[in-house]
Structure 1
């Protein structure tokens, strides 16, 4: 069995009376695809983005049993006025819920919320759950602010209370330290690491011990930062027993202990990186992901994970069991 825990959805259409700041989906002549038009964004979306039958057909062809669907990250526009952001979220959530309901057991939908208004975002979580959506997607920063800042803590506490998993998708923040061409590569890696680190050092992870949260692309460079953070906390190398007398910042729980409560989509594009993640964070923390259909899946799906030397139990954890643990649901097997 294989669960792809990182795939995306786009609504086929938007209401005719939608605010001018909403995106549009225009037909493509002679094609079942549609074009997303939104400000400077121009994106040709294949019909698999919004057609349940086509999605399931591609699953069958590519060896995938279940997909977790989350909105395409450009839809998570926190720069919109809060009321319009909420209206957009509700439209996307309604579409995602209907798409998932068209193929129960094969498509598991996540909603979105207007994080520019943390209180409204927290309040909307119950509506997401009541629609039959199984979780919520947010981006790694909110208009440049780290998600671990205290003003967002109420949102995570409410997600924990409602038992809703959270998927954090890396999203570039405005920066002049790297060229714009690096936004989808290096900047995304930095953003994922910063988001996860902010949850640890900001105290939100400690305040929400039962929160089920996953980070796209293994939280970027986090896994390379954690051993240094662990050294500062413990005063020792190689995760040896702590020496508080030698520690530089022995405050709160051990960084690695907290990081091993998160889940990580192992779309890291190299078996050596997967091996490191297994060794450092554990095979029970990793999920298969693909960014499908925004990016092409491996052929066959999950090939890199399967190429790593793992026990049968570790492989089953990564390919499907962990996804259902993160979702908090039972699988069909």
Structure 2
């Protein structure tokens, strides 16, 4: 079995009376694709984004048995007025729930909330759960503010209380330190690392120990950042026992690496050497299959690089499908 925990969807249409700031999906002459227009964004979305039958056909062609569907990240527009952001989230969530209901043995859905207003986003989580969605997708920052900021703690605490999963997708911040052409490459690595680190340093990981959270693209550079944090926590290399003097500088709570091993990470890192490192550092029980499908083509076949990593059979099964269902807090579907 293979479960893709990082796949996206787009609604086929939006209400005719939607606010002007809403996205639009326009027909493409002679094609089944539709054109997404959202502010300055213009994106040609092929039918697999919104057609369940087409998705199932493409899943079968690439060897995928199950997909965790989340909104295409550009829909996470935290600059919208809160009321419009809530209306957009509800429309997208309804579409996601409807698409997933076409075949619950193949699909599970993650919704979205207007995190620009943490109180509104927190209150909306119950509706997300009641719609049958397994959690929410959020961006790695909210208008440049780290998700580990204390203003978002009630949101994460409520997600934990409701048993909802949180998928953190790397998204550009307001920084201009790298050119716009790197938004899909280097910035993804930076944003993922900052988001994961902020949940530890901001206290969310400590205060929400049962929160199920995953990061796109293995949280970027986080896997190389956290051993340095571990050293400054313990005073030792290679995760050796802390030196006594350093132990006096912090409590006996989890170390940075122990916190990092509570998170999940999708394994879309494009290199088997990176996969092996992540398994060695964080554990095979922390990795998920990810593809960004259909925004990006899947490996052919799906999971090829994971199978090249030489993992024991039980660990490979965890990465290919078991961890995805643990992240979602659900039992695998019965075939």
Per the shorter chain, which TM-score range? over 0.9
RMSD (CA atoms): 1.1
**Number of residue pairs the alignment of both structures matches:** 333
Determine whether 1:305 maps to 2:303: no
* Residues 231 and 247 in structure 1, CA contact (< 8 A), matched pair in contact too: no
1:249 shift after superposition: 6.0
Deviations 1:233-275 (A, max 9, x none): 0010000011141469645520000000000001000000000
8 Å CA contact 1:232–1:247 kept in 2: the answer is no
| Alignment partners' CA distance in 2, 1:149 and 1:249 | 23
Which residue of 2 is the match for residue 277 of structure 1? 278
Q: CA deviation at 1:103?
A: 1.6
1:101 matched residue in structure 2: 101
Are 2:207 and 1:207 equivalent residues in the alignment?
A: yes
Which runs of structure 1 show a deviation greater than 4 angstroms over 4 or more consecutive aligned residues? Answer: 246-249
Stretch moving more, 249-258 or 194-203? 249-258
Correspondences of 1:162-173 after superposition (within 5 Å): 162-173=162-173
1:190-237 superposed Cα distances (whole Å, 9 cap, x missing partner):
000000000001000100000000000000000000111000000100
> Which residue of the partner structure matches residue 259 of structure 1?
260
Do the aligned residues in 2 keep the contact of 1:235 with 1:248 (CA within 8 Å)? Answer: no
Q: For the Cα contact (< 8 Å) 1:232–1:250, is it kept in 2?
A: no
**Contact 1:235–1:244 (CA<8 Å) still a contact in 2?**
no
**C-alpha distance 68-224 of structure 1, shift in aligned 2 (>3 A):** same
- Aligned residue in 2 for 1:188: 188
Cα distance in 1 for residues equivalent to 2:249 and 2:84:
43
Corresponding residue number in structure 1 for 2:73? 73
Q: TM-score scaled by structure 2?
A: 0.98
Whether 1:287 aligns to 2:288 is: yes
Shift of 1:174: 1.6
Q: C-alpha distance in 1, partners of 2:248/2:237?
A: 13
CA distance in 2, matches of 1:133, 1:203: 27
Q: Deviations over 1:28-61 (max 9, x none)?
A: 0000000001111000000000000000111111
Matched with 2:229 is 229
CA offsets, 1:143-193, max 9 Å, x none? Answer: 000000000000000000000000000001122211111111111110000
Runs of 5+ unmatched residues, structure 1: none
3-state DSSP of counterpart to 2:184: helix
Contact 2:8 2:72 in 1 (8 A): yes
The residue correspondences of 1:1-333 to structure 2 (distance < 5 A) are: 1-246=1-246, 250=250, 252-332=253-333
Please tell me whether the aligned partners of residues 218 and 267 of structure 2 are also in contact (alpha carbons under 8 angstroms): yes
Q: CA deviation at 1:305?
A: 0.5
**TM-score, structure 1 normalization:** 0.98
SS for the counterpart of 1:184 is coil
Contact (CA 8 Å) 1:27, 1:33: kept in 2 or not?
yes
